Amino acid sequence: MLNAISRSQIFVLDQDEALDFYVGKLGLEVASDQDLGFMRWLAVRVPGQPDREILLERPGPPAMDDATAAQVRELVSKGAMGGWLCLTTDDAHKTYEDLRAKGVDITDEPSDKPYGTDFGIRDPFGNAIRIGRMNA
């Protein structure tokens, strides 16, 4: 009946700043960046995985009234909005060093878990991202 998860969404507080981070620092690529009039449709993906996109959405009208958007923004900045991403890598330590050198906020350093080696970061807005090398 269904084939795959194709897109999901996280809230970002500024889409240009999001581009600097997700593309400029994490190395994702732009899948789509279109002015639809009522919103800027900005989606990114991992190079080499074209069928899985993440929409970087700014909370605001018309989807939300201003008061609701302000609530969402506050929650994002407290790290309380979910918007949790999990990305994989071949070398967790190397990726960690690379991102640390770029000034990315590190929440926890690489450590071995039962499922692989991973570490945690946050995007500029407060969203949590985990990056790890998963066991085969």
Instruction: For residue 22, state whether it binds other proteins (rule: CB under 8 A).
Output: no
Instruction: For residue 15, state whether it binds other proteins (rule: CB under 8 A).
Output: no
Rounded Cα–Cα distance for residues 84 and 53 (Å) = 14
Residue 33 or 88 with smaller CB distance to other proteins: 88
Helix (H, G, I), strand (E, B) or coil at 106: strand
Instruction: For residue 61, state whether it binds other proteins (rule: CB under 8 A).
Output: no
In the set 13, 19, 39, 55, which binds other proteins (CB under 8 A)? 13
Instruction: For residue 60, state whether it binds other proteins (rule: CB under 8 A).
Output: no
One DSSP character per residue, 27-73 reads --EEEEEEE-SSSEEEEEE-TT-TT-EEEEE---TTTS-HHHHHHHH
Strand partners, 7: 53
What does the binding site for other proteins look like in residue numbers (CB under 8 A)?
Answer: 13, 70, 73-74, 76-79, 84, 86, 105, 107-109, 111, 113-115, 118, 120, 122, 124-126, 128, 130
